[in-house]
Amino acid sequence: MLVNSSQRTQPLTTPVLKLEGLSKSYGKNVALSGIDLHVMPGNTVVVTGPSGCGKSTLLRCIVRLINPDSGRIIVAGEDVTELTYSDLLNVRRSIGFVFQRSNLIQRLTALENVALPLLAANVARNEAGCKAQEALERVGLVGNVVHRRPCELSGGECQRVAIARALAPEPCLMLWDEPTASLDPILVAEVLDVMEDLVKTGGTAMVIVTHEMRFALRAADWLILLNQGKITEQGIPMKVFNNPKSELGVRYCRLLDL
Ligand SMILES: Nc1ncnc2c1ncn2[C@@H]1O[C@H](COP(=O)(O)OP(=O)(O)OP(=O)(O)O)[C@@H](O)[C@H]1O
Ligand SMILES: [Mg+2]
């Protein structure tokens, strides 16, 4: 049985996420090939790379929205590749997922959207309301705004509600798939600030797919550059940017103008 971050009993040296030789092809198209990764508690890994290099496939394999062809996925000590469907649902509840679009339920308020996964996990209504309120506070949404529906919120506020919804169940791991990609530059900065704050104060392990390299430099413990399904560069962000080994790495460095 998996546990959330406040109930965690694993020793701190156990990785929250371990990928070993993860591979996935669609017909002849190799989306991922032999990916190895360790994410320790509280650590933030940024994954980047050109369109189609396998970033979303990687995140979706972790929660088995996509089944890998081979390799192992271990979340908080559990081999996700070997679980029955009901155990897999438990694993998914212990992982927060933030997508490019907020995917909020339009007829529910911000508060109700955030409380919903808690209620679905049989948390009592009062407690779910309190936890949802706390999660909304953590992303800077307080006051009457939490009683508005998504159509009455800005894009940045909607994305903050989506982040609060992922945070509220106190996940042991958060996966982010280009959470700022559909926002205008001002809202990008707003959401990146919220993310950076969570990285620094949260203690939750995170795997963040993003093209925001300055954010990676500030917030990530580890940077992975994917190219055609393989890890082409990895390391502490500043080291990767200071000494890229691949042509793609050099091109990504130029983006930063270091
Ligand atoms: N359901 C699918 N069926 C067939 N091919 C797929 C499927 N999903 C993804 N692919 C292919 O797998 C490769 C990796 O796709 P993926 O969505 O993981 O890339 P990505 O790095 O997330 O790209 P982007 O930056 O555009 O979001 C691509 O070549 C893509 O065309
Ligand atoms: Mg993608």
What's the pLDDT tens digit per position in 206-249? 999 999 999 999 999 999 999 999 999 999 999 998 899 999 99
Q: How far apart are the CA of 189 and the centre of ligand 1, in A?
A: 27
- Nearest protein Cα to ligand 1, atom 17: 56
- Portion of the chain with pLDDT greater than 90, in percent: 71
* Dihedral sign for Cα atoms in the order 217, 223, 229, 231: positive
Residue 123 main-chain phi, psi, to 5 deg: -75, 140
5/9 Cα distance (integer angstroms): 9
Which pLDDT belongs to residue 2? 41
Helix (H) or strand (E) holding 136: helix 125-138
Beta bridge pairs of residue 205: 173
**Stretches in the chain below the pLDDT threshold 70:** 1-12, 202, 257-258
Give 123's DSSP letter.
Answer: -
Residues 212 and 188 sit within 8 Å (Cβ to Cβ): yes
Say which ligand is closest to the CA of 211. 1
Task: Give helix 155-167 / helix 185-202 axis angle, nearest 10°.
Answer: 20
Say which ligand is closest to the CA of 227. 1
Which pLDDT belongs to residue 12? 54
Report the pocket of ligand 1 as residue ranges, CB < 6 Å: 26, 29, 31, 51-57
174/205 Cα distance (integer angstroms): 6
Which pLDDT belongs to residue 257? 66
209 Cα nearest atom in ligand 1: 22
Q: Which residues of 155-166 are buried (b: 16+ CB within 10 A; e: fewer)?
A: bbbbbbbbbbbb
